[in-house]
Structure 1
Amino acid sequence: MTAADTPSDEELMQAYARGDMHAFEALYDRHALPVWRFVQRSVQNAALADDLVQDVWFSVVRHAPQYEPRAKFRTWLFTLAHHRMVDHWRTQKNHASLDAESEDGSALAEMLAAESGFGPERRLDSRELAQALLDALAALPEVQREAFLLQAEAGMSLAEIAQTTGASMETAKSRLRYARARLRETLEAHA
């Protein structure tokens, strides 16, 4: 099958709306991991991310009969994820910390630290840099963190970020620029 033979996400969603379960499976296979990573890194809790992402996919199923491709499917999907997280944050007061332990008991910074053939000192530097990055990401204002994660995890363009978050193109651009600048400052301080 060539790239020209591969159906677009929008075509798959329309096929799913007509009852083609294989089309849904293809969409899920294409987008499940990026959506989960976006949500997980936003809420910083794997179990909660699982629940929220499940709600997002249920929403895809519920909205399938009314789906009309007005934007890229990916943009629509990440908009659903964004709205689900906003709903969650409105009902929650406590947020998990980025340095909280993961399900397997290891800190997230430890998981982000690069494995290498270098000695303990180099691994320690890597863990410290990973923790500094996580701390800097957590310290970003929510709108900047979201813009950064939509680009880093979902590979979205500025226009798609703006559409997903309901912000203007200039606002999305500013949020992304400020997020990058703060993260760059953190990394340079640890270099």
Structure 2
Amino acid sequence: MAQALGQDKSTEAEIDQRLMLNYASGDTSAFETLYLKHKGGLYRYFVRQIGDKQLAEDLYQETWGRIIKSASSYQADAKFTTWIYKIAHNLLIDHVRAVKPVDLFSETFSEEQDAEALLPSDEMSSDRAMEDSFKASLLKRCIALLPMVQKEALLLNMEAGFTASAIADIVGVTLEATKSRIRYANQGLKTCVMNKWQEVQNER
């Protein structure tokens, strides 16, 4: 079963590569297929990273613009998803450096950064739906508090499904640094959610 899944992933990557090469040769329908396939994940990447939907939309559109301009230089040995997220990552870095210095890229947690975790079991099952919704909002808030490099690694891993090796290639750091970012992000999230949930419980 695992082997079959691996083959499916490989086939998917080959399809993307073929579509990109076809587009580079003038097949506009190939680009439309790629766009429809990857637009959701790429847009969410920007929204979750910067939290500003209008800015996310601008950077998202610019990414596709760069993909179009770079089509002729695309190499088939590069996995398409890794290639486009590397373009997106570089655009994001350029933007953040332009508006806010590198303190956003600190490897350590900021003081206000509580982390997220598995939440305690509910005491009142009658309000389960409301509590679940509230916990989800806490998780989202805690993800936003993560240092940017950790948040990016975590989201690329959890949402986009990239391996640590692929993420290292996208962001241009070592595999060990990438694994550390993912590990610290998970630890941070667990602490953050636990702390914030405890604060809510104490206020009741």
TM-score normalised to structure 2 length: 0.74
Deviation at 1:39, TM superposition (A): 0.9
**1:165 correspondence with 2:174:** no
For residues 38 and 6 of structure 1, the distance between their equivalents in structure 2, rounded to whole angstroms, comes to 19
**1:69 correspondence with 2:79:** no
Q: 2:151 aligns with which of 145, 150, 154?
A: 145
| Superposed CA offset, 1:101-160 (max 9, x none) | xxxxxxxxxxxxxxxxx86x3344234312321221122111100101111221111111
Segments of 4+ moved more than 2 angstroms: 3-7, 121-124, 184-191
Does the residue aligned with 2:70 lie in a helix, a strand or coil? Answer: helix
Q: Which has the higher contact order (CA 8 A, sep 6+)?
A: 2
Q: Decide whether aligned partners of structure 1 residues 5 and 38 sit closer, same or farther in structure 2, where only a CA change above 3 A counts.
A: closer
Larger radius of gyration: 2
Deviation at 1:91, TM superposition (A): 1.7
**1:15 correspondence with 2:22:** yes
Question: Equivalent residue for 1:26?
Answer: 33
Q: Decide whether aligned partners of structure 1 residues 93 and 17 sit closer, same or farther in structure 2, where only a CA change above 3 A counts.
A: same
Q: Which runs of 5+ in 2 are unaligned?
A: 1-7, 102-124, 199-204
**1:134 correspondence with 2:171:** no
For residues 140 and 16 of structure 2, the distance between their equivalents in structure 1, rounded to whole angstroms, comes to 32
Q: Which runs of 5+ in 1 are unaligned?
A: 95-117
Q: Decide whether aligned partners of structure 1 residues 6 and 148 sit closer, same or farther in structure 2, where only a CA change above 3 A counts.
A: closer
Q: Once superposed, what is the RMSD of the aligned Cα atoms?
A: 2.3
TM-score normalised to structure 1 length: 0.78
